[in-house]
Amino acid sequence: MTTLPNNPTLVARKKSALRNESPVHPIGDLQAWSFTVIVAPHPDDESLGCGGLIATLTGRGQDVRIIFVSDGSMSHPNSEEFPRERRAAVRREEATAACAELGVGSDRIVFFDLPDGEVPREYAANFGAPVETMVDLLEKWQPDTIVVPWRRDLHPDHRATWDICRAAADRHPQTLRWIEYPIWMWEADSIVDLPRDEEMIVWRLDVSACRERKEAAIDAHASQLGRVIHDDPTGFVLADHVLDHFRGAYEIYFEPATKRHSSLSGAYFDRVYRDRDDPWNFETSAYEREKYAATLAALPQDRYQSGFEIGCSIGVLTEQLAERCDRLLAVDTSEAPLQSARERLAGSSHVSFRQMVVPEDFPAGTFDLVVLSEVGYYWGYEDLHRAIEKIRTAVVRGGTLILVHYTPYVPDYPLTGDEVHEAFIQRLDGFYRVHASRAERYRIDVWKQGKGTPTA
């Protein structure tokens, strides 16, 4: 079959895969999005592309701000009853009403009011002004996440908005979580306008619980639905086939795939633990209790002489591993959780704790048990490969390596749990697997060092 850019069959298949086969992102994992900025090229893009996300975040009490870049005034350029200024005012009123439906008050909305159809690209002489405005807002707000239109969306204002956001984000002193959403991409007839596999990570968000609020927000943009301006027969109206792209149970988001090669920094975890003592609910989560029980049950020996736990956090699993080890070294990148772990195991003299950034740092000596639980997906591929090699040489002959990782895609993390485990399978020379199991949201793999009969 030909793979020409305008091959309709190929384009349709790719769109279907994006919409129906992308991994579903669990809503609970949006907890790290404490402050999100949504950037809409026109009033209505926020509701169409991100309405479910916005409603989900505001419903969880998380901070959301919305920036409208253009004034939307060119939707009905030939209307005499609604000249340009009046059209812009209508679009502003509709945007404010739509945001209210999604839980965002007028005090959390900013209008750039750039002329519709004339948002400047990066090469334009007037490009600097909106970039400076965006830079100032990011500096004032200090968000952790910015959600922007898809970089190759068909409308030029959408591409220009991406340019403005990218230029501003590059000047922001803190790295922002960068998310893109498609609007007019769904109308593309060329494969080059869709994300390449090596370019973007694609995921779906289940917004079925917010569909009524999203529908109400879309409905608030009445002028775009043909219900306000009637004296311009050539004016723009959102056609049903366009609206159908945004009426389903899922919204589609893209992230740059380059994040797979950058490990999360120590500063990331310092921020997480600054906000909460137990950010992942290790002490109280039924999911964690069940997973810990499965982890311990998967260990092929009752007792180990020397254990090494990478990423111990506040020490909940450490406390249980300590009952199976004569000596146990537990490390973490951040001092705050280590302090909690030390207090938890204050009476266990055979357990030692150390602040350590693996794989950059790694303890001397060898171990007959190494535990890597819910850590590997924080590494980029280069650090993961370095860690595999160091772990491989640290396990004594006959020793055990156990991996336990959450499997759904998490936007914050460079890798998925499955990618971590598959990398170990490919690179862990000299080991054979003795246990492999998968639950709904995590998987466990156990290896022994040396020769033996692997599991299927």
Across the beta sheet with 24-25, the strand order is 24-25, 200-206, 250-256, 177-181, 145-149, 35-40, 63-70, 109-114
pLDDT of the residue at 357: 96
Q: What is the dihedral of CA 69, 122, 173, 31, to 10 degrees?
A: 50
Domains and CATH numbers, the chain: 8-261 (3.40.50.10320), 281-449 (3.40.50.150)
Alpha helical stretches, state H, 29-108: 45-59, 84-101
- Which of these ranges, 266-275, 365-374, 401-410, 427-436, has the smallest mean pLDDT? 266-275
Mean pLDDT, the chain, whole residue set: 94
- Comparing C-alpha atoms, which of 217, 41, 262 is closest to residue 134? 41
Mean pLDDT within 324-339: 97
End-to-end CA distance of the chain: 36
Question: How crowded is residue 196: how many other Cβ atoms within 10 Å of its Cβ?
Answer: 10
How confident is the model over 136-151, as pLDDT tens digits? 999 999 999 999 999 9
pLDDT of the residue at 2: 46
Q: What sign does the dihedral 393-395-397-402 (CA atoms) show?
A: negative
What is the pLDDT confidence band of residue 271, given thresholds at 50, 70 and 90? Answer: confident
pLDDT of the residue at 25: 81
Mean pLDDT within 107-131: 97
Percent of the chain scoring above 90 in pLDDT:
86
What is the pLDDT confidence band of residue 335, given thresholds at 50, 70 and 90? Answer: very high
Q: Judge whether residue 3 has pLDDT over 90.
A: no
- Which of these ranges, 3-12, 65-74, 202-211, has the smallest mean pLDDT? 3-12
Q: Judge whether residue 412 has pLDDT over 90.
A: no
Q: Assign 3-state DSSP to the chain and report helix, strand, coil percentages, each to 5.
A: 45, 20, 35
What is the C-alpha separation between 187 and 38, in angstroms, rounded? 22
Burial class (CB in 10 A: 0-12, 13-18, 19+), 20: exposed
pLDDT of the residue at 456: 55
Q: Structure tokens of 385?
A: 């490969």
Q: Judge whether residue 452 has pLDDT over 80.
A: no
pLDDT of the residue at 4: 63
DSSP assignment of 34-49: -EEEEEESSTTHHHHH
Percent of the chain scoring above 70 in pLDDT:
98
What is the pLDDT confidence band of residue 1, given thresholds at 50, 70 and 90? Answer: very low
Amino acid at 104: V
Alpha helical stretches, state H, 60-155: 84-101, 128-141
pTM for the full model? 0.78
pLDDT of the residue at 417: 92
Collapsing DSSP to helix, strand or coil, 101 comes out as helix
Q: Judge whether residue 159 has pLDDT over 60.
A: yes
Mean pLDDT within 63-92: 97
How confident is the model over 185-194, as pLDDT tens digits? 999 999 999 9
